[in-house]
Amino acid sequence: MVDLKRPYRTMMELSKKYGPIFRIRLGFQEMVVLTGYETVKEALVNQADAFAERASIPFLEDFAKGFGLIFSHGENWKVMRRFTLSTLRDYGMGRRTIEDKIIEECSVLTKTIKTYAGKPFEITTIMTAAVSNIIVSILLGKRYDYEDATFLRLMDIISENIRLSGSPNISLYNMFPTLGFLLGFHKKVMNNRKEFHDFIQSTFIEYLKKLDENDQRSFIDSFLIRQREESKKMTNGYFHNENLKAISGNLFGAGTETTANTLRWAILLMMKYPEIQSKVQEEIAKEIGVRQPRTDDRAKMPYTNAVIHEIQRFADIIPANLPHATTMDITFKGFFIPKGMHIVPLLSSVLHDESQWEKPYEFYPEHFLDSEGKFVKRDAFMPFSAGRRVCAGENLAKMELFLFFTSLLQKFTFQTPPGTSKDDLDLTPAIGITTPPMPYKTCAIPCS
């Protein structure tokens, strides 16, 4: 009954028959699925505390062991989230310091694309590297060259784990954890996790040698200094190495995959809809000219802003959301839901809600424009989720999307390779917890 490659699609179909709230059992897993803008908003925003836990799912418990930020629970999650948000702000998230780093990376990326001289190339690696360097600059206080072997391996590990985590085999493992034949995929993910954690371990051992409380250079520095302070107070309940390794993996993965995949969708959609690409370029030429785009430009560029928002809505990067759980017994919209129930607040159903979007299954930037062409905020725009577990890096991601997208379209027009047309482009999402586009080639023609 369930499409194990894209279970969120099955859930969308079931909601048509059973309504916006229904319970489903997959193997030993029981869950309540919430669909549509009104229902998801009521749960995540209006009753945020009741739906703020992370569900205990066999694979995620094996993988995260309750540490870090994204998949942790209770007090550990609260402490790590508070620390993460305040430390990201300290390192300039949403401010000029991080904007300058993004602009520097835009420059490296555009120079790299120029080397292809308009010939077809696959954009995944360099786009992922450019985006990843932003979170790496915060985590480690440095950037990597796009060809750096260690950097390429780290990106491969994260990408492979996200893809495998959404695979049918892992879904089956979650339903029937005792099925031993599924452990091959499981083992691969755990080996990747160990390799990433070993890298963090060896990296922060180096950092410990040079740690200066008066000169904190990175997120890891800040964590280690806090660890030292807590150990002196004998209260080091949460600032231990397992949390540091887990939170580094969380930030590296979440800060790389979602934004890089959204930008890959952006290039693909500009090739598919060249008339939209032209309108964005006209607005860039009019409002920015040839100087480097800055975040402040967004306010006077309603069409470009609308296109970026529509790319995020259409791309539907985390369709099933990450799994929530109830923190208490609750009667929700007339249904009793017990404490600890696995909740699926289906983001795909919000971003495609027919009561909220004029053309939910089409790419239509006018969703975010009024009759006068001014940008309009939409409440049902929830690509970062909402409530207590909303994406911690939302402001950083928005800044990256605007600066990378405008910098690329200022310098290049993206076209299909010779011998192919826009009609040949496949808009089917790939499989995984996140939904990148299928691999494709593009030609970046320099703007005169």
Which residues sit in the known binding site for heme? 391
With 0-12 / 13-18 / 19 or more C-beta atoms within 10 angstroms meaning exposed / middle / buried, residue 232 is exposed
Q: Among 277, 259, 269, 273, which residue's Cα sits nearest to residue 311?
A: 269
Q: Nearest 5 degrees, angle CA 255-CA 258-CA 262?
A: 130
Provide Rg for the chain, Cα atoms. 22
Please report, in range form, the residues annotated as the binding site: 391
SS3 state of residue 423: helix
From first CA to last CA, the distance across the chain in angstroms is: 53
Backbone angles phi, psi at 14, to 5 degrees: -60, -35
- Only one residue has tokens 């079931």, namely 14
- Only one residue has tokens 């060809």, namely 147
CB 443 within 8 A of CB 417: yes
For 229-307, where are the E strands, in sequence order?
none
Residue 318 tokens read as 């985390």
Residues with Cβ within 8 Å of 7's Cβ and at least 6 positions away in sequence, in order, are 171, 320
For 268-353, where are the E strands, in sequence order?
324-325, 330-332, 335-337, 342-345
